[in-house]
Amino acid sequence: MNMEFNKIAGAVLGTALLVLGLNQAKNMIYHAPAPEKPGFAIEVAEKSGGEAGAGGGQVATESLGALLAKADPAKGQQQSKPCLACHVFDKGGPNKTGPDLWDVVERPIASHEGFTYSDDLKSHSSDKWTFENLNKFITNPRSFAPKTKMTFGGIKRDAARADLLAYLRTLSDSPKPLPAP
Ligand code: HEC
């Protein structure tokens, strides 16, 4: 036991308390008057039958399908502004820091021509960008692919993310069907 250890232990404890505090504050902000469901709620509910998990999730009452059914693509376009720093949404558009996102729904993961993806995202390439996968990735890119090159914190509010997904869906010649609520 030495000073160095104490310092590290103190820092770890401090961080843990800070995270708890932030969660608390977030709950206070977002939970009045109508409770919002936080980011991982859907996943948590599926796995544990509705109990809040260790990730700080609340009980989910709405499936992604239900959220998408009432999502607003126009609001989603507003949500998409930060994406434009790195992505183009146009058909046949160029890759920038990130790949062009035209017709991304149901597109095989890490498949856009001419873009050099991280190995982590490439390891998902047998899968597609289903609404579920997009939802997870956009909640927190690093929880989907820990070593992704996409340096974006994520959109934590379920309704805001659903709006964004509804907007991404419109970027297609033939928008894919929404999942059942
Ligand atoms: C700071 C730049 C940056 C921002 C902001 C950003 N992205 Fe990305 N995005 C990237 C990069 C880089 C990749 C490639 C990731 C990899 O290879 O790991 C990527 C990949 C993606 C992919 C996977 C595409 C594919 O072809 O597999 C999707 C979907 C995506 N981003 C959506 C979004 C959305 C939606 C937003 C806004 C909410 C957003 N991104 C904001 C940089 C960014």
Break the chain into its structural domains and give their ranges: 62-170
Yes or no: say if 102 and 90 are a contact pair by the CB < 8 Å rule: yes
Contact in structure between 110 and 141 (CB atoms under 8 Å):
no
Q: Tokens in use for 142? A: 């690093």
* Distance, CA of 54 to CA of 153 (rounded, Å): 20
- What's residue 4's pLDDT? 78
Among 80, 84, 86, which residue has the most ligand 1 atoms within 8 Å of its CB, making it the best to mutate?
Answer: 86
φ and ψ of 25, to 5 deg: -65, -40
Pocket test for ligand 1, best of 79, 104, 150, 168 (most atoms within 8 A of CB): 150
- C-beta separation of 178 from 131 below 8 A: yes
Kindly give the distance from the C-alpha atom of residue 147 to the centroid of ligand 1, in angstroms, as a whole number.
13
| Ligand 1 proximity of 108 Cβ (cutoff 6 Å) | no
Q: How far is CA 21 from the centre of its chain?
A: 22
- Residue 7: predicted pLDDT: 78
Say how far residue 171 (Cα) sits from the centre of its chain. Answer: 18
User: Does ligand 1 come within 6 angstroms of the Cβ of 166?
Assistant: no
8 CB-near residues (< 8 Å, 6+ apart): none
User: What mean pLDDT is reported for the chain?
Assistant: 84
Ligand 1 pocket, residue 78 CB under 6 Å: no
* Residue ranges for the chain with pLDDT beneath 50: 35, 39-57
Could you give the angle at which helices 131-139 and 158-170 cross, rounded to 10 degrees?
130
**Alpha carbon distance 145, 137 (integer Å):** 8
pLDDT of residue 43: 47
- CA–centroid distance, residue 49 to ligand 1 (Å): 31
Q: Which pLDDT score is estimated for 54?
A: 44
Please tell me whether residue 108 adopts helix, strand or coil conformation: strand
Q: Give the pLDDT score at 136.
A: 97
CATH node for 62-170: 1.10.760.10
The pLDDT of residue 123 = 98
What span, in angstroms and rounded, lies between the C-alpha atoms of 39 and 140?
Answer: 8
Q: What is the pTM of this model?
A: 0.74
* Cα–Cα distance for residue pair 109/104, rounded to 1 Å: 9
